[in-house]
Amino acid sequence: MDETPKKLVELKDLQLYFNQGKSNEVRAIDHVSFDIYEGEVFGLVGESGSGKTTIGRAILKLYEPTAGQILFDGQDVTHLKHKHLSEFRKDAQMIFQDPQASLNGRMKVRDIIAEGIDINKLAKNKAERDAKVQHLLDLVGLNKDHATRYPHEFSGGQRQRIGIARALAVDPKFIIADEPISALDVSIQAQVVNLMKELQTEHSLTYLFIAHDLSMVKYISDRIGVMHWGKLLEIGTADAVYNHPLHPYTKSLLSAIPVPDPEVESMRQHIEYDASIETDGKERQMVEINPGHFVLATPEEVSVYKNQQK
C-alpha cells in the first residue's frame, strides 16, 4: 500500500518579486519549493521580512507570483481567476495576526462570522444562517450572546476566536494562520494554540502556521520550514529542526528562545548568524541530509552537515 501522505499544497520554484527590475526590487520569495501534506500543521518560521506573509498571501492568490507554480489538491491554482478563484477561497482561508485590525469594527460578530456564509450562499434562510453562527461560536468557545456584540467589546484572545470562527464558516480544508498569537498576551497564547490544534483534529484541517520564532511553532507543527531573505533554508520534522538543526540561521533562531528555567536561561548563549553564507554567490540546492530533513547547501557544505549529524 502507498503510505506516502497526500500533498494538499505544492509550491514549485515559486518566485515573487516586488518592484521587479527597479532599484527597489525585493525578492520576497526567491525560488521556494515545498509541499504541505493533507492533515498536517506546517510551521513557517523566520524573522520579520523573511517572506513568510508573502508566501501565505501568494498561496491565497492575494499576490500574483513572478514565476513558479502553486498546486492545491493537485490542481494548478497559480493563475486562478473569477469563479474558480472564489471556489478556491472557500477551501483555503486565512487567520490574521491582529484580530483588532482584521475584524470590521462596525459589524456585529454575527455578521463578521457569516460573511463567508453569505458570499458563498451556504445558508438557505436567516434561521439557518443564525444556527450556523451559533454553532461556530460554540466551536471556538464563545457563547450565543456574543453574536450581537461588536469586536471592541472583546479581549484580544476572544477576537482571535472570532477570526477563527469566521475562517471556519465556509468549512475550509486549509487554513493559513499568519502569526495568529503574536499580538496576544503570553497567558492567552497557549489557549488559542490549543483551540486551533483541537479544531484541526476535529475538522481534519491542514494548517500553514506562520511565526517569527520557533517556540510555539515547535509545539503545534508536524514539520517546520525556516525562511530568511526570501529563501527556504531548512525543512524537516519539528523534532529534527528543533533538536538537530542544520543551518546556522536555524541554530541562531533557536538560540534566541528564552528558557523558562532561570538557571539554564542565565547560561543561554545567543548564536550570532553570519549571513555571508547567503551572499557569497555560490549555487545552493535543498539537499536531504537525513530522511525528510533538508538544508540549502553547496556540495561541500553537504559533507559538513552530514558529518555534524554523526
Ligand X SMILES: Nc1ncnc2c1ncn2[C@@H]1O[C@H](COP(=O)(O)OP(=O)(O)OP(=O)(O)O)[C@@H](O)[C@H]1O
Distance CA 249, CA 262 (A): 25
CB–CB of 28/231 below 8 Å?
no
Give the Cα separation of 103 and 165 in Å (integer): 12
Provide the residue type at 137 as one letter.
L
Q: Residue 24 to residues 19, 74, 211, 262: CA-CA distances in angstroms?
A: 6, 35, 26, 44
Shortest distance (Å) from residue 136 CB to ligand X: 27
**Three-state secondary structure call for residue 251:** helix
Name the minimum Å distance from CB 54 to ligand X: 3
Q: Which one, 52 or 293, has the nearer CB to ligand X?
A: 52
Q: How many C-alpha atoms does 77 have within 13 Å on its Cβ side?
A: 26
DSSP secondary-structure letter at 146? G
Nearer residue to ligand X within complex by CB, 52 or 61 = 52
Closest separation in Å from C-beta 230 to ligand X: 7
Q: Nearer Cβ to ligand X, position 26 or 271?
A: 26
Nearest Cα to Cα of residue 44 among 244, 235, 272 = 235
Q: Which CB atom, from 16 or from 113, has the smaller least distance to ligand X? A: 16
Contact set with ligand X (CB under 6 A): 18, 26, 28, 46, 48-54, 212
Quickly tell me which residue has 494538499 as its cell: 8
CB of 51 to ligand X, least distance (A): 4
Task: Kindly state the smallest distance separating residue 47's Cβ from ligand X, in Å.
Answer: 7
Q: What is the DSSP letter of 185?
A: -
Residue with CB nearest ligand X? 53
Amino acid letter, residue 4: T
Neighbours of 40 (CB within 10 A): 18
Which of 52/129 has CB closer to ligand X?
Answer: 52
The greatest distance separating any two alpha carbons of the chain, rounded to the nearest whole angstrom, comes to: 65
CB-nearer residue toward ligand X: 54 or 250:
54
State the nearest-atom distance from the C-beta of 88 to ligand X, in Å. Answer: 21
- Could you give the angle at the alpha carbon of 209 between the alpha carbons of 67 and 228, nearest 5°? 55
> Which residues are bridge partners to 94 per DSSP?
176
CB of 82 to ligand X, least distance (A): 23
Shorter beta-carbon distance to ligand X: residue 29 or 109: 29
